[in-house]
Amino acid sequence: MKIPQKQDPLPELKWWDSGIIYQVYPRSHQDSNGDGIGDLAGIQSRLDHFVELGIQAVWISPIYQSPMADFGYDISNFTDIAPVFGTLDDFRNLSDAMKERNIKLVMDFVPNHSSDEHVWFNRSVNRIEPYTDYYVWKDAKGFEIDGTPIPPNNWVSVFGGSMWTWNDIRQQFYLHQFVAKQPDLNYENPKVLTEILAAIKFWLDMGVDGFRVDAVPHMFEDQRYLDEPADPNAPEGSLPDEYRYYLHPYTYNLPKVLDALAEIRQLIDIYTAFDGKDRCMMVEATIPNLDDLFLYYGTESRPIAHFPFNFEFINRIKPGFNGTDILSMVDEWFQKMPPGATANWLVGNHDNHRVSKRFGDYIVDPLNMLIHLLPGSSVTYYGEEIGMQDTWISWVDTVDPAGCNAGEDRYELFSRDPERTPMQWDATKSAGFSTADRTWLPIHYNYTILNVAAQSGSDESHLEIYKKVELLRRSNAFKFGSLETKAPNDGAVFAFSRIYNSTGFIMLANFGDAQETVNASLEFEDIPAIARVYTRSQGFVPEGTFVGSSINTNEIVIGARHSLIVEF
């Protein structure tokens, strides 16, 4: 596939287009008060790391008041900070310090549900107006002989078990698409959206630069409340009380979701129209069919998200993939994306095993190169810049509800704890993350060698390779250049060029087990005969491809499972 370079007048790039977005999982970033849990002051003390990485924006997973049943994704007050993370003053300090460094701050916002400890829920339980219908309440379908109420239908929650929990006071079931402590807000009631817009306005007034909007496809349910069918293609071994056992036509991605999100976007745009500062709305929607996913961009007359996250590297690319798999994924994204829209690239987040666990350590650098150099916005999950690995967590140490709900025998299938362990800053006690002996999740034992300090300044390291990639991202070739994608050498390799006014680069990644020699001048248009190796991934370096070497573009040698960026 080939996309031509941008022509004059060159488009103005928004900050989410030009710079990398970095996801901070606040419990695991930096602990400032020795309780073993990360906090806002901790994040503030580590801002230099973002500056060194050249990060443009930081998205912080939820920091609102919360009983932490889902570690902040269960919010009991949408307009205040959880004491474990600090106070609103700490938030203001962090926000100011970020502004001084020109780093944007993106809040994680969770519209689908609140905590059952939110005051709205308590009032709803007690039928206090106007809160009676703020949540989704239903009568029992019937009662067992022993009096146990029977849920309205067979809906199973994302973390397993019924989507319905009985409330003794109200004598009705309430719906929760996630855990029982996360009752779903009822968007059939327009007052609910008004409340949520008020909460978003609160953070806009606090000066945030955007929102990552959580779990949006779950916001509406089909009002017929019909049973959901089993998925004929469910993964082998799925059990009937697991979410993945079913298709979700009545609880996922209903058309009304887009209407609600369009209103959120409208509010954000009002602020931008007023002061001219760009604010971004990115949404989390896991939808395999790209035509359906791209509805989340909205239209020119009714914009929705600036972009939906791209989960293709997580859900579509499986271990054992080759260059052809990457080529078809990348090409399909650009062919189907609405004209003028911003693409998005990411390889990990707090809900999925880390890159090195999914595909192997060798893949850390190639994937960082890909996601940050393909056109579009890109997101780094904390620790991916140093190739952090999943940490094995025992059942006793497991805290993630997705793991706990699955029970001791199956928790490892579902737990997200392994990818959430504390950031590995240096080789000192608790990896420099905390002064506590015990941290909220154990730290990976490899921290003494795998950490930011150890990789800093070492040319061979994931961290330094990452920084070089980030620098390249600032070039005109990246900002305005053409894109040409290929899967040469029988699909063992994925390669792409980005060129602006005859300067540019080619990135080549060999996913196969054998060394390959690629004739790039044959594969790509407008490539000069000689180029220079700009950077490469860790590992074995075939002769003649050291960084800085000059190479013939008609025979670029790439080692097995290796990647290379050449510039010209």
Residues that bind ligand GLC (CB under 6 A): 70, 73, 110, 178, 214-215, 284, 350-351
Long-range contacts of 152-157 (CB under 8 A, 24+ apart): 152/225, 153/225, 153/226, 153/227, 153/228, 154/227, 154/228, 154/246, 155/227, 155/228, 155/250, 155/251, 156/228, 156/240, 156/241, 156/242, 156/243, 156/245, 156/246, 157/243
Q: Which is nearer to ligand GLC, 110 or 404 (CB)?
A: 110
Give the span between the Cα atoms of 248 and 360, in whole angstroms: 32
Q: Which is nearer to ligand GLC, 178 or 447 (CB)?
A: 178
Q: For residue 568, how far is the Cα from the chain centroid?
A: 33
Closest separation in Å from C-beta 284 to ligand GLC: 6
Q: Which is nearer to ligand GLC, 215 or 565 (CB)?
A: 215
Q: Which is nearer to ligand GLC, 73 or 568 (CB)?
A: 73
Q: Which is nearer to ligand GLC, 158 or 564 (CB)?
A: 158
Annotated catalytic residue, options 284, 384, 385, 400: 284
Question: Can 351 be counted among the known catalytic residues?
Answer: no
Per-residue DSSP letter, 399: -
Task: Mark residue 400 as left, alpha or beta (left: phi above 0; alpha: psi -120 to 50; beta: remaining).
Answer: beta
In 10 A of CB 197, how many CB atoms?
Answer: 16
Q: Write phi, then psi, for 366 (nearest 5 degrees).
A: -55, -40
Q: Map residue 379 onto helix, strand or coil.
A: strand
Closest by alpha carbon to 416, among 25, 9, 138?
Answer: 25
Q: Which is nearer to ligand GLC, 95 or 352 (CB)?
A: 352
Closest separation in Å from C-beta 479 to ligand GLC: 30
Q: Write phi, then psi, for 378 (nearest 5 degrees).
A: -145, 150
Closest separation in Å from C-beta 402 to ligand GLC: 7
Q: Which amino acid is it at 188?
A: E
Dihedral sign from CA coordinates of 323, 329, 332, 337: negative
Closest separation in Å from C-beta 480 to ligand GLC: 33
Closest separation in Å from C-beta 488 to ligand GLC: 36
Close Cβ partners of 560 (under 8 Å, ≥ 6 residues apart): 510, 512, 513, 514, 515, 516, 540
> Order of strands, edge to edge, in the sheet holding 172-175?
137-138, 172-175, 164-167
Question: Can 214 be counted among the known catalytic residues?
Answer: yes
Closest separation in Å from C-beta 178 to ligand GLC: 5
Closest by alpha carbon to 545, among 523, 564, 519?
Answer: 564
Closest separation in Å from C-beta 302 to ligand GLC: 25
Q: How many helices (H) and strands (E) does the chain have?
A: 18, 24
Q: Which is nearer to ligand GLC, 37 or 533 (CB)?
A: 37
When CB distances to ligand GLC are compared, the closest residue is: 73
Q: Which is nearer to ligand GLC, 103 or 179 (CB)?
A: 179
Would strands 164-167 and 149-150 be described as parallel, antiparallel, or unpaired?
unpaired
Annotated catalytic residue, options 116, 184, 214, 419: 214
Q: Which is nearer to ligand GLC, 70 or 312 (CB)?
A: 70
Q: At what angle do helices 364-373 and 462-473 cross, to 10 degrees?
A: 10
Closest separation in Å from C-beta 66 to ligand GLC: 11
Q: Which amino acid is it at 301?
A: S
The secondary structure of 50-82 as a DSSP string is: HHHHT--EEEE---EE---TTTTSS-SEEEEE-
Closest by alpha carbon to 487, among 332, 359, 326?
Answer: 326
Give the span between the Cα atoms of 166 and 140, in whole angstroms: 8
Give the span between the Cα atoms of 135 and 513, in whole angstroms: 54
Closest separation in Å from C-beta 333 to ligand GLC: 21
Q: Which residues are catalytic?
A: 214, 284
